[in-house]
Structure 1
Amino acid sequence: MGVQMKPLMLGAAFAAVSCTTIIALILSLANHQTLDQPYSTQYGIVFDAGSTHTTLFLYQWLGSKENNTGIVSQSQSCDVDGDGISSYVQNPPGAGESLKKCLDFAKSSIPSGKQRATPVYIGATAGMRLLSLQNQSQADIILAEVAKTIRSYPFDFRGARILTGMEEGAYGWITVNYLFESFIKHTFEGKWVHPKAGRILGALDLGGASTQISFSPKDPVRVPESAFNLQLYGYKYEVYTHSYQCYGKDQAMKKLQAWLHKNAGASSVVNHPCYHQGYNFTLTLAEIYNSPCVVTPNNLNSTAKITFLGISNSSLCLSLMEKIVNLTNCTFSPDCGIDGVYQPPVNGEFFAFSAYFYTFNFLGLAPKAPLNLVLSTIDSHCNKTWKTLVAQNPSIKAKYLRDYCASAHYIMTILLKGLKFSNIWDQISFEEKVADTDVGWTLGYMLNLTNLIPSERSRAITGVTHSQWAAQTFFIVCALFLSLLIIIILFLHDPKH
């Protein structure tokens, strides 16, 4: 009896231990670990619909944020064929069609699983601001056609709108300071920190129809409507910014033509001191006076033509710039810019881009040059004949080449006499990009929007690692097998069988 009970008791004990082991392992599997998956890349698209052309910018950032603002970088860009969308007044659907090449480009650049969550914004600037002043309904129709095209793509379209001049200036300021790590800096330890002594730069943007100045003044802004208040990476900033509508490069050239025409009497052939000797340019009066930036004379014969003859007179060209730039009527003296607009004294370093850069880069004056060298270089360029200029620059189109003289003198007039940079000229740097990123308002716009776009929460999942799951499953199977084996052995040794 004792001999028979001994293996039975041993088997029962072993079976109990096996069952306990199985239960423990099952409970350990039930006690799931929490695994944090890394934040995935998010994408955003901004169309810069300027007065002369449109560009798509593709940005990306991780779903996480630093103090509620994303760390955004430019991925790629795409230039839209044709002129700006404001030029499609006679063919509004063409404005939408023009975007398809770059939308296809963006679609091929963004993973298919991310496209539906990719926000797309289109911001129109001074060209559309002018059109809306002339014909609001036409501007609305063009924006509607643009929106229609974008909605046909698998993106999260967030709207097409006309930016205010203040927004354009402020977002350009954000872009410049972000790229120079004035707001947030990446350390050697791989952390993002706020630089305690970060330099805050000013921004100068010269477009086709408007120009913007934005900077952080030493003292609080006296005129509240000139202040743009921002919060980025947990810090607040007060920025003075102003956009001068009709003071963009292209509109300045048009105003100069209108001034020359009005002061030429009845003559249809007019000397143009900013054009080079040997260059002639004929256009209709309708082409000169087709903008709200120029005052149309009474009884204008819009089909009449006028020919401008270049005379290569640098000093006269410079003097004419003061005719088209209003440097008087300052009610906030001495704190005034152009057109009597309030402007606190310029402060700190400035980054000049867009047409500022293109003009100075052509003249070999970018990124910096002493003021005396700038002035002598412009004089030398403006006094050249057209034949000499073309021979030196055979690859540049005439419509661009003819305007560098006038543009340079115009830039010097608004910077030195209008915006008061004569005492801090050496603080201006003329540049196009920083760290392979285009400078403009679009990056600042996207950075500001990442405050509004919800951050992608880290995807917490429950479970165990693959190796732990495999090991625990192996032990459960072994325990079950041994328990079954013991039961069979005991059954075979039972004397009743």
Structure 2
Amino acid sequence: MGLSWKERVFMTLLGAATASGLTVLVLILVEATYVLLPAHIKFGIVFDAGSSHTSLFVYQWPANKEKDTGVVSQALACQIEAGALSSGAVSGPGISSYASDPALAGESLRGCLEEALALIPKTQHQETPTFLGATAGMRLLRQKNSSQARDILAAVSQVLSEFPVDFWGARILDGQDEGAFAWITINYVLGMLIKYSFGEWILPEEGTQVGALDLGGASTQISFVPRGPILDQSTQATFLLYGANYRIYTHSHLCFGRDQMLSRLLARLAQDSQAALVRHPCYHSGYRVTQSLAPLYESPCVHFTAPMNFTQSLVVEGTGNPGACVAAIRGLFNFSSCKGREDCAFNGVYQPPVHGQFYAFSNFYYTFHFLNLTARQSLSTINATIWEFCRRPWKLSQVEANYPGQERWLPNYCASGLYILTLLLEGYGFSEDTWPGVQFQKQAGGMDIGWTLGYMLNLTGMIPAEAPTEGRAQSYSTWMAGVVFVVLTLVTILGAAAVQLFWPQD
């Protein structure tokens, strides 16, 4: 026998009330933070204006930060490639190369910035912090001609101020800042500052951080946490990140970047030769090139004067002698100033003894990657490989024909490889025992290694976090009150129906 219509109504109301009651129960059990809309994403833009090129990076992070520091990820990388501008000029070199026409320095940045703004929601353009940091190339130009450096920064600032962003300025970074921010970058992407584990963000164990080794075009930086106290306070950088304090040693050696090393080396050889023909031990035998001398002696890093018989050009001929090349490279350092001191690198610069793991990037990586030496080979294998490469003749398909597309830098890999060994071993004080702790990497954790991410992480500490807005909280409360009202109404109707069904009135 089927149910009567009263019983069917009752069962329907019972089901509705049960479902509504369960819904309320689930909502009560779930925290309100998970019911609110997802956290607002913030964006930041950083230009890395290096000595040889400029790159732009877009970073993003949730507004609800962790211990007052953003959990940042890279959203875009854009390198300013050489190409024709609307004026017919060529863009692409470092901004310091625009000393004769500063306006072009600013114009060269437009393409990448437009690409960045196409990625960022238009409603957030006005609140996106944008910063340009110039490194060693501009530090050298400031030494050489401070007014030209100011003009370039002014031109860059004028162009960037035209865009609808929160422009934080364009300035020349100190070498200490460049090294310290790179240290933050590496340790962050490796999970050495904060990491996600079992549903929460935690701080890693103290003392697990790695050191940073950067080799740019005009300078080189070393940054690490020493075992003991830092005795020279000018080499100390401190940070508060994710609620933890960090104290690191960092120093930048201006004029010891790869490009400036090559210029200083050639100038030294020309000085010793005092002739229009220079026999270069770091170039492969059979290699011969004629180059202008004027740019060589314009660098503030070159302290030699032009030879007495100075002409407009110099003929350079390779001899392929790695032993003589090492001797010439060692002449670029003042090692005697640190003799007998364990806390000294070279040129009298204070440095605590190195220890632990290090990441070597930029030109450290590019040089060793070309030589197939990034697989953590032994020091003896690396040394033998570089010497063997230096001894190869340039012609007869030994070098020139075997590396297509490498013509620009190919003659310099021998000098660069031997320079890296000299810098790391005799300069920074690595040994056969500590060498296995050095890794040559371009990226870490899938992100580019450099100072820009570290700068952005530090910057997030100055940008207020966004808690759920009052409007969102009110919407949540009103919505919950409405649900409760509907459920209570249904329960009341169900109770009335039950009374009518089972206790009918006479």
- Is the CA contact 2:279–2:317 (under 8 Å) kept in the aligned structure 1? yes
Aligned to 2:420: 411
- Alignment-mate amino acid for residue 317 of structure 1: C
Aligned to 1:12: none
Give the C-alpha shift of residue 298 in structure 1. Answer: 6.3
Counterpart of 2:322 (choices 314, 322, 331) is 314
Give the C-alpha shift of residue 452 in structure 1. Answer: 1.0
Counterpart Cα distance in 2 of 1:65 and 1:435: 21
- Is the CA contact 1:42–1:63 (under 8 Å) kept in the aligned structure 2? yes
DSSP-derived class of the 1:221 partner: coil
Counterpart Cα distance in 2 of 1:332 and 1:167: 29
Counterpart Cα distance in 1 of 2:487 and 2:62: 39
Q: Does 1:292 align with 2:306?
A: no
- Is the CA contact 2:271–2:307 (under 8 Å) kept in the aligned structure 1? no
Q: Does 1:334 align with 2:345?
A: no
RMSD: 2.2
Aligned to 1:55: 55
Within-5 A mapping of 1:344-423? 344-387=352-395, 388-396=398-406, 398-422=407-431, 423=433
Within-5 A mapping of 1:124-273? 124-187=134-197, 189-197=198-206, 199-265=208-274, 267-273=275-281
Q: 1:199 to 1:60 in 2, by over 3 A?
A: same
- Is the CA contact 1:264–1:270 (under 8 Å) kept in the aligned structure 2? yes
Counterpart Cα distance in 2 of 1:433 and 1:99: 24
- Alignment-mate amino acid for residue 209 of structure 1: A
Counterpart Cα distance in 1 of 2:76 and 2:334: 40
Give the C-alpha shift of residue 442 in structure 1. Answer: 0.6
Aligned to 1:275: 283
- Alignment-mate amino acid for residue 430 of structure 2: F
DSSP-derived class of the 1:242 partner: strand
- Is the CA contact 1:39–1:459 (under 8 Å) kept in the aligned structure 2? no
Counterpart of 1:92 (choices 90, 102, 106) is 102
Aligned to 2:501: none
DSSP-derived class of the 2:127 partner: coil
Residues 3-44 of structure 1: per-residue CA shift (max 9 Å, x gap): xxxxxxxxxxxxxxxxxxxxxxxxxxxxxx997443211000
Residues 259-298 of structure 1: per-residue CA shift (max 9 Å, x gap): 0100002x21111111112221212221211111011416
Aligned to 1:454: 464
Number of residue pairs the alignment of both structures matches: 442
Counterpart Cα distance in 2 of 1:273 and 1:350: 31
- Alignment-mate amino acid for residue 54 of structure 1: T
DSSP-derived class of the 1:175 partner: helix
DSSP-derived class of the 2:369 partner: helix
Give the C-alpha shift of residue 190 in structure 1. Answer: 2.3
Aligned to 2:434: 424
Q: 1:300 to 1:350 in 2, by over 3 A?
A: same
- Normalising by structure 1, we get a TM-score of 0.85
Give the C-alpha shift of residue 91 in structure 1. Answer: 1.1
Give the C-alpha shift of residue 103 in structure 1. Answer: 0.6
- Alignment-mate amino acid for residue 336 of structure 2: T
Counterpart of 2:118 (choices 86, 108, 111) is 108
* Structure showing greater relative contact order (alpha-carbon pairs closer than 8 Å, 6 or more residues apart): 1
- Alignment-mate amino acid for residue 230 of structure 2: V
Q: 1:36 to 1:256 in 2, by over 3 A?
A: same
Give the C-alpha shift of residue 399 in structure 1. Answer: 2.0
Q: 1:468 to 1:218 in 2, by over 3 A?
A: same
Give the C-alpha shift of residue 73 in structure 1. Answer: 0.8
The farther-off stretch of 317-326 and 455-464 is 455-464
Unaligned runs of 5+ in 1: 1-32, 480-497
Counterpart Cα distance in 1 of 2:404 and 2:286: 16
- Is the CA contact 1:69–1:447 (under 8 Å) kept in the aligned structure 2? yes
The farther-off stretch of 310-319 and 357-366 is 310-319
Aligned to 1:17: none
- Is the CA contact 1:122–1:161 (under 8 Å) kept in the aligned structure 2? yes
- Alignment-mate amino acid for residue 329 of structure 1: S
Give the C-alpha shift of residue 153 in structure 1. Answer: 1.2
Q: Does 1:122 align with 2:132?
A: yes
Give the C-alpha shift of residue 338 in structure 1. Answer: 1.8
- Is the CA contact 2:278–2:314 (under 8 Å) kept in the aligned structure 1? yes
- Is the CA contact 1:43–1:118 (under 8 Å) kept in the aligned structure 2? yes
Aligned to 1:443: 453
Counterpart Cα distance in 1 of 2:250 and 2:424: 15
Aligned to 1:83: 93
Q: 1:299 to 1:74 in 2, by over 3 A?
A: same
Residues 450-493 of structure 1: per-residue CA shift (max 9 Å, x gap): 111111232232135668648969999xx9xxxxxxxxxxxxxx
- Normalising by structure 2, we get a TM-score of 0.84
Counterpart Cα distance in 1 of 2:220 and 2:309: 31
Counterpart Cα distance in 1 of 2:112 and 2:130: 12
Counterpart Cα distance in 2 of 1:197 and 1:214: 17
- Is the CA contact 1:367–1:431 (under 8 Å) kept in the aligned structure 2? no
